[in-house]
Chain A
């Protein structure tokens, strides 16, 4: 249960414990690691978006001086049915290449240059096939089929198809209910492929020893995931693989899988030397997981008073080369924030000849919210109802049922909407060509598995060991929770991110789960220590355990116990550890339940240049329920960063492909992410509706902030220019064309 008490450290903003290393250049990231005798690995990538591999001849490359290993899919074990087949085929293509840039072969050599030259000496004969570059192309009757053996999950046998799966959710009788509505809006929305855009390319060093043990140093969101997936691809026991995390230069979901690690381990096994692999930015764009392009057909019916009655949604999402778009999450979230007695949601996972998508911050939800929040904006305008009032009138609350079954517990949706309505931003005046948009976002948040160890030192300071790479300041949050529990100074806590043989099993840094779940494990580990400290105080005082209380870093006699000892601080007991039972360690692990959903409301003001179609974001406010903010500065940072990624998604970012399926803008120059001069300050309001199940009321915060901005920006553009953009991005040429079309009408 969330406890209501005054905190000393929770809610404060200490300097992060890894901060000095990160501002002085000492912190080591994925590409910063090296071993003696290390080779450099490079990957040969497909020049075709879709082709059959007829023949691979690596003999000339193998014969080159300085080349120590050459690997292809033939060197990987065949996967069992239900095994890691798709992952293995994505890492090194076996029979077919399914996107431009798909890995086909790999080389390790004594220098990076020799490795690159050796790639040119590998001969591959392809039978080029027609690329499949859009949902329309994939779903056409005569579409080339990526995998003729695959059948759609969740559908009657369709025969060969590019639909990998179908899901649906339903309630009531939406078709009949539409007939009773005063107003029914039916719209279609599209978003394009975008990339997570982490600044650090994927990188690793792998060392396969003569006894088959594999050691990997890499940048990842999940060391245990890398261990598991590498072992699966190579057919090894998981205990044969050790993964040590470097610092991680951003991930946003994109570093929750593997691309290089199994290949580097394979090249290392072949060569008997450590192998380092670092992707170029070009490779990151072409061959790592982007986020799915989408099309959503949405129909919503309401009464004249603004009561939502019925909705249907059909969603298609591109999975890329292998199944696994986030369409199900999109389907589960699209109508989740609103009370609806009648609904039907249907989602399709569609494969296309583009890189396999990976998770990107609240996967699927931004695309879904773009559709729903755009449509609600239009509905509010049509019914002449304030858009926040419309959402408040239909907002879900505790006890309401989600479209996929469960019921909400305590949530903070209405609180974020009310905070937006009451914020000075909402009533600030606007100038010519300016407009304001609002949008809401929902995300599940996740719990999953975490472990934590807390070691007291002999002077009463503490070391906290967890297995979650710190991607955004989580070490500081772990330290705050430990300091709060043990009543010691937060800067006297040393938070450590450990390797897979030092930390207990811990799931990825993702799903907005680290402060919630791993933090909870830290709290529980500290409570093990507190029990131990009480036991030792009872031993010192020669009294019963029940007569000893622990408060604010001290053991003291329970009130009314009749004892009159001076309190014993953590440090005092720690100094006596040898004579009171030995080392003082706490360990805890959990499968965290009850990750309360996150809600956010964003306000966005834009100014549209009618001459060029350029959109300038001039004011932005992000409001979110964090449950309780452990380190508010890093909560705000998540809100600001997510908002700006969403602004980029809305305004500029998209993969551009030529007719042959080659990405045309695989650089930061041409894939235009927001820069400092594009943006205003991003104001934040943290709402705190404590999550009742968590000891500190924490909800995840990392993903929800990317959900509202797409529609917030599009709604603002509508009110600034009169044009409603239902297809992203709202880049200058697209908006200019729409403005000209509007002027012509």
Chain B
């Protein structure tokens, strides 16, 4: 069985890769494209560590078939900062110590940015429910939620 050839846009750049028909976007990103910033915590869509955006919509890349992204735009954690300039979500996570081990952080960065892109002034409750699909076992979420609220304030300023 021959592999599928997929042409897509990842982090603003055209990318081609080969994959099996059943390969997940997560596996294609990590193993075919070499973007290992997107993490696997469960591969069943329960932990959010593999969060990416697909045409701006937040998805678990483990639940997306890689071949489906042909002709669409994918943004991963590697595409959030602009050159040396961290996105406010990234900067505030650092300032608030919103990461300990850091394995869930790429997913939180992508998910939080997706929230602030559409909801510039979220309440704490909105942040907590938006991020309910992203598991963190280290922080108890307190400093992550504070960082996202602070990033929202900075983006509005």
Which A residues form the contact surface with B (CB < 8 A)? 13, 15-16, 18-20, 22-29, 31-32, 113, 196-201, 247-252, 278, 280-281, 471-473, 631, 633-634, 636-638, 640-645, 667-669, 673-679, 681-682
- When A24-B78, A26-B37, A681-B142 are in contact, do A645 and B137 touch as well, CB less than 8 Å? yes
B155 contacts which chain A residues (CB < 8 A)? Answer: none
Bound: A429/B49 CA distance, A: 39
> Are B128 and A676 within 8 A (Cβ)?
yes
> Shortest CB–CB separation between residue A211 and chain B, in angstroms?
30
Q: Which of A32, A633, A676 lies in contact with B36, CB distance below 8 A?
A: A32
A645 contacts which chain B residues (CB < 8 A)? Answer: 137, 140
Most buried by B among A22, A633, A676: A676
Q: Which of A16, A18, A20 lies in contact with B97, CB distance below 8 A?
A: A16
Q: Which of A26, A199, A667 lies in contact with B137, CB distance below 8 A?
A: A199
Most buried by B among A13, A22, A631, A645: A22
13 contacts between A and B (CB under 8 A): A16-B94, A23-B81, A24-B81, A198-B101, A198-B137, A250-B138, A473-B100, A637-B138, A640-B142, A641-B140, A676-B134, A676-B136, A677-B131
- When A23-B109, A682-B142 are in contact, do A200 and B46 touch as well, CB less than 8 Å? no
> Are B139 and A675 within 8 A (Cβ)?
no
- When A200-B101, A250-B101 are in contact, do A25 and B139 touch as well, CB less than 8 Å? no
Bound: A27/B103 CA distance, A: 9
> Shortest CB–CB separation between residue B62 and chain A, in angstroms?
10
Which of chain B's residues has its CB closest to A22's CB?
Answer: B102
How many residue pairs, one in A and one in B, have C-beta atoms under 8 Å apart? Answer: 184
B18 contacts which chain A residues (CB < 8 A)? Answer: none
Extra contacts besides A249-B39, A473-B100, A673-B135 (10): CB < 8 Å = A20-B94, A23-B93, A29-B39, A278-B40, A637-B139, A641-B100, A642-B140, A669-B44, A674-B141, A675-B135
Most buried by A among B104, B106, B141: B141
Which of chain B's residues has its CB closest to A248's CB?
Answer: B101
> Are B142 and A471 within 8 A (Cβ)?
no
Residue B99 is within 8 A (CB to CB) of chain A in the complex: yes
> Shortest CB–CB separation between residue B34 and chain A, in angstroms?
9
> Are A633 and B135 within 8 A (Cβ)?
no
Bound: A729/B41 CA distance, A: 24
Bound: A27/B128 CA distance, A: 26
Residue B76 is within 8 A (CB to CB) of chain A in the complex: yes
- When A23-B86, A633-B143 are in contact, do A199 and B41 touch as well, CB less than 8 Å? yes
> Shortest CB–CB separation between residue A24 and chain B, in angstroms?
5
Residue B24 is within 8 A (CB to CB) of chain A in the complex: no
> Are B138 and A201 within 8 A (Cβ)?
no
> Shortest CB–CB separation between residue A361 and chain B, in angstroms?
11
Which B residues form the contact surface with A (CB < 8 A)? 20, 30, 35-44, 46-47, 49, 76-78, 80-81, 86, 90, 93-97, 99-106, 109, 124-125, 127-129, 131-146
> Shortest CB–CB separation between residue B129 and chain A, in angstroms?
5
> Are B41 and A668 within 8 A (Cβ)?
yes
B145 contacts which chain A residues (CB < 8 A)? Answer: 676, 681
B47 contacts which chain A residues (CB < 8 A)? Answer: 199, 281, 668
> Are A281 and B41 within 8 A (Cβ)?
yes
Which of chain B's residues has its CB closest to A197's CB?
Answer: B137
- When A250-B137, A667-B46 are in contact, do A471 and B100 touch as well, CB less than 8 Å? yes
Bound: A200/B143 CA distance, A: 20
Which secondary structure characterizes the binding site on chain A? loop
> Are B102 and A27 within 8 A (Cβ)?
yes
Most buried by A among B86, B97, B106, B139: B97
Which of chain A's residues has its CB closest to B90's CB?
Answer: A23
Bound: A673/B139 CA distance, A: 13
> Are A667 and B97 within 8 A (Cβ)?
no
B101 contacts which chain A residues (CB < 8 A)? Answer: 198-200, 247-251, 471-472
B81 contacts which chain A residues (CB < 8 A)? Answer: 23-24
Q: Which of B49, B125, B141 lies in contact with A644, CB distance below 8 A?
A: B141
Which of chain A's residues has its CB closest to B49's CB?
Answer: A199
Please provide the 10 A-B residue pairs with the shortest distance between their CB atoms, ordered closest to farther: A25-B37, A249-B103, A644-B140, A22-B102, A633-B97, A668-B46, A25-B77, A640-B140, A472-B100, A23-B90
Bound: A24/B80 CA distance, A: 7
Which of chain B's residues has its CB closest to A633's CB?
Answer: B97
> Shortest CB–CB separation between residue B131 and chain A, in angstroms?
4
B93 contacts which chain A residues (CB < 8 A)? Answer: 23
> Shortest CB–CB separation between residue A587 and chain B, in angstroms?
28
Bound: A668/B49 CA distance, A: 12
A677 contacts which chain B residues (CB < 8 A)? Answer: 125, 128-129, 131-132
- When A199-B104, A249-B103, A673-B135 are in contact, do A24 and B77 touch as well, CB less than 8 Å? yes
Which of chain A's residues has its CB closest to B125's CB?
Answer: A677
> Shortest CB–CB separation between residue B147 and chain A, in angstroms?
10
> Shortest CB–CB separation between residue A718 and chain B, in angstroms?
23
Bound: A250/B47 CA distance, A: 14
- When A247-B102, A679-B141 are in contact, do A669 and B49 touch as well, CB less than 8 Å? no
Bound: A631/B44 CA distance, A: 36
B49 contacts which chain A residues (CB < 8 A)? Answer: 199
